Amino acid sequence: MNLLKKLDLLLADLGNPAAIKRNHIDTVTESKIENVKGEKIASSINGGIWAEVNELSEYSFLDIIVVGNRKMKTFEGCEIIFQSAEKELKLISDTKEIESNYSNVSNRFITEISFDITNLNIDYILERKAEIATLN
């Protein structure tokens, strides 16, 4: 360990806020990234999209978790488009305020988004009939 790193750790131990922030290891967010709930429905180089269907009363919700290198922050919600040769399914998020959590361990973001969904759409998504999933 070089001298500057040791000095930075000493400053963090003494309570310097900037040094504490630089040396903080976010194990909570990293454990969420490593143990994502649901079924992986799409993948990319840095992560993917996991989906889980939940029911509340008689309503179904598609909860997706996006892991990757893209930070999302909006108060307007988003949409996900599932495309295949014969069908295109567009879902508008039920969650309007969306903000990613960053893990400084793996340098990736995790984002949780909820969508209203019908039983017909659940089968289309979970049976992986779509070839492309685009999150806007």
Give the count of domains, the chain: 1
- In this prediction, the residues of the chain whose per-residue pLDDT falls under 50 are none
Q: What single-letter amino acid sits at 42?
A: A
In a domain, 64, yes or no: yes
Q: How many CA atoms lie within 13 A of 97 on its CB side?
A: 0
SS3 3: helix
pLDDT of residue 72: 93
**Domain for residue 94, yes or no?**
yes
Q: Give residue 26's pLDDT.
A: 62
Q: What is the pLDDT of residue 37?
A: 84
Residue 2 belongs to some domain of the structure: no
Domain annotation covers residue 102: yes
Q: Is residue 100 in a domain?
A: yes
In a domain, 22, yes or no: no
Q: How far is CA 136 from CA 12, 53, 77, 79, 93, in A?
A: 39, 20, 9, 5, 10
What's the confidence (pLDDT) of residue 125?
A: 82
Residue 18 lies in a domain: no
54, 113 Cβ separation under 8 angstroms: no
The whole domain housing 107 covers 36-135
pTM given for the model: 0.74
Cβ contacts of residue 115 below 8 Å, gap of 6+? 61, 62, 63, 64, 80, 91, 92, 93, 94
Residue 95: phi and psi, rounded to 5, are: -80, 120
Q: What is the pLDDT of residue 114?
A: 93
Give the closest residue to 87 by CA, choosing from 132, 126, 57: 132
